[in-house]
Amino acid sequence: MASYVGFLLLLFMVAKAMDVSYDGRAITFDGKRKILFSGSIHYPRSTAEMWPSLIKKAKEGGLDVIETYVFWNAHEPHYRQYDFTGNLDLVRFIKTVQNEGLKAMLRIGPYVCAEWNYGGFPVWLHNIPGIEFRTNNPQFENEMKNFTTLIVDMMNHEKLFASQGGPIILAQIENEYGNIMSSYGDDGKQYVDWCANLAQSYQIGIPWVMCQQDNAPDPMLNSCNGFYCDQFYPNSQNKPKMWTENWTGWFKNWGGQIPHRTAEDVAFAVARFFQFGGTYQNYYMYHGGTNFGRTSGGPYITTSYDYDAPLDEYGNLNQPKWGHLKKLHEVLKSIEDVLVHGHRRDVDYGNMVTATIYNYGGKSACFLGNANNSYDATINFQNNQYNVSAWSVSILPDCQQEAYSTAKVNVQTSVMVKKENEGADNDDESYNLNWHWRYEPFKQMKNGKIHGNVALSAPQLLDQKVVTNGTSDYLWYITSVNVDDNNDNIWTKKDVKLRINTNGHVLHAFVNGKHAGSQYAQNGQYQFSFETDVKLKGGNNEISLLSATVGLPNYGAFFDNVEVGIGGPIHLVTHDESGDEVVKNITQNVWNYKIGLHGENVKHYHIKNTLGWFTTGLPTDRIFTWYKTKFNSPIGNDPVVVDLSGLGKGQAWVNGNNIGRYWPSYLADENGCSPTCDFRGAYTSQKCVTGCGKPTQQWYHVPRSFLNDDDENELVLFEEMGGHPFNVKFSTVTIGKICANAYEGNTLELSCNDDQVISEVKFASFGQPQGQCGSFKKSQCEAPNTLQNLKDQCLGKSSCSVQVSEKSLGSTGCNVEQNRLAVEAVCAAIVSNYAK
């Protein structure tokens, strides 16, 4: 009987296996061509507890596939020591995707870029003798093969490839290598062939992708990454047109402004891609998330990796982007068969205006596109007249009626707010945080020597990566300089300067245990010169230099060899009696290297570490200070954030979990921001920015899974630059108000969070209202009872649906082609006088 049951189980497993193939038109599942919408959700940038909600919202947004990189340095931080626990549980993540009924694309790389520290490579890899990254090099290829095989075997063992009945339909080897391949010459070409052969050797039964790789050898699929990929075509007519990274926004840099990409422009790019034969499109990112710990790359990539994605850093819907794209997915899915099977014909109207007609099985579907960034076109198409806004695509599923325009956003805009912490045991003392503190004891009291064990000594200045192996942002460079103890010695009588050339990114200098000065790289210049006045004494002088990195480089040819740390030369400079400069070059001194900070090494951030903390005399504006405080968990389920305003630069821990680097003292340039953003015209990361003159990141995500069930939590801060913790406060992120400006003929869905209701409708006008959210104005013509109508339909409800039509809202008297409904409403927590 048991063998019979086993036989039936085997038959079931075989039946569930999926044949994934491709041709020149599309990816094919079990013989059926598909257009596929995919979204990047990187598992280490959230928590395992967040994954189900994120993936469910992605599915509700119309996605078919979830894409993720695999992060080598997260999984193998030390040579042959692996970590697949917590938010690094890759198998759990893929199974969560599967449980939601979605497919997966696994981008193994193992180079990932991703604004991730060192591009995803473990730093120990750099220190293997004779290694050269991403080229025809046996040492590198052996290590890459070892890790790639580990991941493939893991997926095979869990039967997660589609050929085994799992959700993974696509895999990727390498990443954007074509962008830099020419720098590696013939070895680069041989490396590409080696990658392709390695991938094919696994025989996993699904296609492999090499993105941004025009010379990807058959049967590897090449694909496009960028803001726009409608003009990309694969290197073979037998391969589908794929877009592996549609950049939904952009990342943030410390000291930079906050970039935004409009919903209209993202939708325009997607619609044009499918207008011109696209079949697979992936949003990078769909949820950006958070660079916890020291995972952000760059240098100078922020802890937040929000990316202005359709799901924000905390997992909230980023409206209107999420909703506008959802409607686009629905329209394109409705014409899927015509797109993947139909004959395509393009009509050029001039001035960058085109029409595209697909015909299949007696059905037609059409696109009207206008890529001019200022000219609104009126065209005659198939004996009908259509208005096509500048920088837009209109989709006509039956080639007659416009069902969707990328320029017309018919979903709400959600204005998110930070609500003050209402902790379970807090009444009104939410921000009366009681702070404990301690100095970073970097020097020993007895002899003034720097704390810590000497990792190595060398008569030269070493690259920071060589010494730390990536285990800390911090490395001490320590040497001694002996000065003759006599009254005529110019080094003790004259002013002395210490000059240091460093590859940074931050430098703190100490002479004989006293702080001599600090400096950090600015404006993208990560090599800089530091000079400060110092006082030498007769006899032995200890010079201690602390170098700090803020994310290792992650992109470019040979990025792995970019030196970080103090590269020199290092000079002591004074003047003799005649005024001539005298230089003492200490570059080739014997330097002792100590890794990390003392408090970091003994884990001051550990919640059980209670000894040695002071409760009085709290210092401020002092470098190298540790702070800690207790706080209660905010009530409810909304995402939790902490405001670190007032602090300088450092790292933060909640209950021992490193929530990332912070740097609120680094302000963005005051110029270049605008309260409005014109979606028309090609997007760049500098086009629509906000946050001028403000900290690049003020709020830091505290996942609820980091908080304790008993409500008492501990926040620990290491302050490197000097600041104060008095402005620190915890808040929750929720919807404050919702706005919309929807076109006639659509259904407008207005929605607050589940624990909120629409408590007030501040504005509603159906006609030709002017302005934008927060400053709407009525026009001379409108339906007279619109405001009361909206109140009747929506007040006291978590959500409501409004038919935007004269039949529903009343006659406007406007002599226009399309009326619009503008709404501004307030979301508030549910109270007794409102029913959900």
Catalytic residues: 176, 245
β 539-548/528-534 pair status: unpaired
Strand 474-483 vs strand 591-595: parallel, antiparallel, or unpaired?
Answer: antiparallel
Site of tokens 């937040």: 304
User: Could you tell me the strand order of the sheet in which 392-396 lies?
Assistant: 343-350, 353-360, 363-370, 392-396, 404-405
Q: Is 615 helix (H, G, I), strand (E, B) or coil?
A: coil
Residue with tokens 């943030």: 252
Residue 743 tokens, joined: 């076109």
CA–CA separation, 759 and 825 (whole Å): 8
Indicate if the alpha-carbon torsion angle 119, 120, 123, 129 is positive or negative: negative
- Kindly tell me the sign of the dihedral angle through the C-alpha atoms of 406, 411, 413, 416: negative
Q: Which run of H or E residues covers position 326? A: helix 321-334
Q: Which two tokens stand for residue 591?
A: 């330097």
Q: At what angle do helices 90-99 and 138-157 cross, to 10 degrees?
A: 40
Q: 255: buried, middle or exposed (CB in 10 Å: 19+, 13-18, 0-12)?
A: buried
E strand spans, 17-148: 20-22, 27-29, 32-34, 36-41, 65-69, 103-109
Phi, psi of 668 (to 5 degrees): -75, 160
**CB atoms near residue 629 (< 10 Å):** 16
**Radius of gyration for the chain, computed over Cα atoms and rounded to the nearest angstrom:** 30
Other CB atoms within 10 Å distance of the CB of residue 800: 18
Select from 285, 323, 302, 319 the least CA-distant residue to 43. 285
Token pair of 166 as six digits:
């799992």
CA distances (Å), 309 to each of 85, 229, 346, 420, 467, in order? 26, 18, 32, 25, 37
Residue of 170, 246, 369 whose CA lies nearest to 683: 246
Query: Residue 535's CB: how many other CB atoms inside 10 A?
Result: 12
Report helix, strand or coil for 388.
strand
Residue found by looking up tokens 């501040």 in the block: 762
Beta strand 36-41 with 65-69 is parallel
Distance from C-alpha of 528 to C-alpha of 500, rounded to nearest angstrom: 8
Cβ atoms < 10 Å from Cβ of 407: 20
